[in-house]
Amino acid sequence: MRWLYFIPVVIFLSVVGIAGYFLLSGENPQVLPSTLIDQPIPATDLALLDDPSRLTATSLAIGKITLVNFFASWCLPCRAEHPQLMSLSKQKDLSLTGIAWKDKPEDARSFLQDLGNPFGRVALDISGRTGIDWGVYGVPETFIIDAMGKIRYRHVGPIMPQDMDRIQSVLSKLQP
């Protein structure tokens, strides 16, 4: 029965192991993984800014890798990630679409005029409902969609310079 006395140590060491793993991996335990990875784009139908056509799931699956960025003019970290988006917009094989989440069209317009517009087109999700369908729980969030229209990656929070490596490696893996 002596082994019974070892139960507390064993339980404790496993707890420490798990906690240590989290702390050392540098992962932020507060980031939620997306349920839409490897899933098709959810049903979407949004008006576009300064464009009579609409943004739909089909119009996003255009045979090219698309980066969809949910942003808002009232969102402070969105400003922090703008330079990275501008640099991504220069990549030839990548298409950028912005979705202004819970934002007034005129505010979104001035936001992009002030900071520059990296997006090929900008959609307006004024109620925020489409964002919820995409599993968005705050802005900014960025989705990477492959050429077939499947969501392959989600980045929660602003894309900071140190995140660019990760983004680039995802993009290169998705190249046909």
Pairwise CA distance, residues 67 & 98, whole Å:
8
Q: Is residue 18 part of the contact set for other proteins (CB under 8 A)?
A: yes
Nearest C-alpha neighbor of 170 from the set 150, 148, 149, 146: 146
Give the contacts of 42 (CB within 8 A, at least 6 positions apart).
36, 57, 130, 133, 134
CB of 175 vs other proteins, minimal distance in Å? 25
Q: Is residue 133 part of the contact set for other proteins (CB under 8 A)?
A: yes
Pairwise CA distance, residues 105 & 30, whole Å:
31
Pair 34, 135: CB distance under 8 Å = yes
Would you give the binding string for other proteins spanning residues 72-111, x where CB under 8 A is met? ---xxx--xx--------------------x---------
Q: Is residue 113 part of the contact set for other proteins (CB under 8 A)?
A: no
Region from 43-51, 61-69, 144-152, 158-166 binding other proteins, contact rule CB under 8 A: 158-166
Compute how many other C-beta atoms are within 10 angstroms of the C-beta atom of residue 35: 10
Q: Is residue 31 part of the contact set for other proteins (CB under 8 A)?
A: yes
Q: What is the DSSP secondary structure assignment for residue 141, as one 8-state letter? A: E
Q: Using CB under 8 A as the criterion, which residues of the chain lie in contact with other proteins when the complex forms?
A: 1-2, 5-6, 8-9, 12-13, 15-16, 18-24, 26, 28-33, 35, 75-77, 80-81, 102, 128-129, 132-135, 137-140, 156-158, 160, 162
